[in-house]
Structure 1
């Protein structure tokens, strides 16, 4: 699939489209988040909402979210797990994809994850994680 081409919406058994969100927890990382949101805006699967769970950032995170049309949630949490859980309580989506504010996804990332849910026996999907060669912690 070439750049600019899109994948049709994934439909539930009743023919209605799945409500899909990409959830990104963040705190004070507007610069990298701007890059990630720009990339999410170019996905080959365009039928999703981006939700940012912002743990009291002091930078321009909210403005970056507004620039990209992402939903911004003012989150009182101070760690990733709590931020994700807090946001999930505010959301009403059939599928939620998680990523980080410093992870630039491939252009077909959403499409490759969502396609598995065409099978009603699939309950969760994950992808490979690769640490940079120069990462001393082997994250």
Structure 2
């Protein structure tokens, strides 16, 4: 690891023998103090927090760096604009205790982004078995900033049990900063045609119309007028 990479690894919460390592990828322009404050109020005892703070790294690179240097067998991911409830880490530990072969865990998200468990594996609320994740190669950097989480989760499904747990809740107060990258979307569909059809393609006609409008950028344009931003939380 280079000196630059080493300096980008911040450990605001430490533990000598953590059961869970929480990784927060961020950039210096974004304030991570609020999410760390929420993590400091967790009910769990044996956990630590690793913030990857480097403007030269993309989110996939940052998460992979954190995954490589995490101390715990369970690694949880969230983002610098999220606010983990006090029982978040404890719920993650409980889920892994209940499922011996669990390799990837997701849960609901509420706030500026909403998620109810559709095998898309948003990294604002994701936990994995570290050894399995490393063996699988970590996040694929070709999916940088779009569908890297879904591709990662689908790949881990092939190595063990995947669980959606209502108790593992995350609050995402702000609207997501990401928006659709068509090349990444096409690559995901090409690589996983059956999973893409099952998970991504809507079932009903209204859902398909809404999805088409989203892919064509209509909802981004509407949101830009409403919120002064081209970023959309849909999809």
Verify same fold: TM over 0.5: yes
Contact map agreement 1:29 1:101 (CA 8 A) in 2: no
Structure with more contact order per residue of length (Cα contacts < 8 Å, sep ≥ 6):
1
User: 2:94 maps to what in 1?
Assistant: 115
User: 1:9 maps to what in 2?
Assistant: none
Separation in structure 1 between the aligned mates of residue 24 and residue 18 of structure 2, nearest angstrom: 19
2:134 matches 1:128: no
**Unaligned segments of structure 2, at least 5 residues:** 1-16, 114-173, 176-222, 224-231
CA deviation vs aligned residue, 1:31-77 (integer Å, no higher than 9, x gap): 3x111111111111121010011114xxxxxxxxxxxxxxxxxxx52
Separation in structure 2 between the aligned mates of residue 39 and residue 51 of structure 1, nearest angstrom: 14
How many aligned positions are there? 102
Separation in structure 2 between the aligned mates of residue 114 and residue 19 of structure 1, nearest angstrom: 8
1:99 to 47, 63, 78: 78
Separation in structure 2 between the aligned mates of residue 97 and residue 54 of structure 1, nearest angstrom: 17
Separation in structure 2 between the aligned mates of residue 44 and residue 92 of structure 1, nearest angstrom: 19
Separation in structure 2 between the aligned mates of residue 44 and residue 85 of structure 1, nearest angstrom: 27
Which structure shows the higher helix fraction?
2
**Unaligned segments of structure 1, at least 5 residues:** 1-16, 57-75
Q: Give 1 or 2 for the bigger CA radius of gyration.
A: 2
User: 2:233 maps to what in 1?
Assistant: 138
Aligned-pair Cα RMSD in Å? 2.3
Structure 1 pair 46–29 and aligned structure 2 pair: CA distance change class (3 A): farther
Contact map agreement 1:131 1:138 (CA 8 A) in 2: no
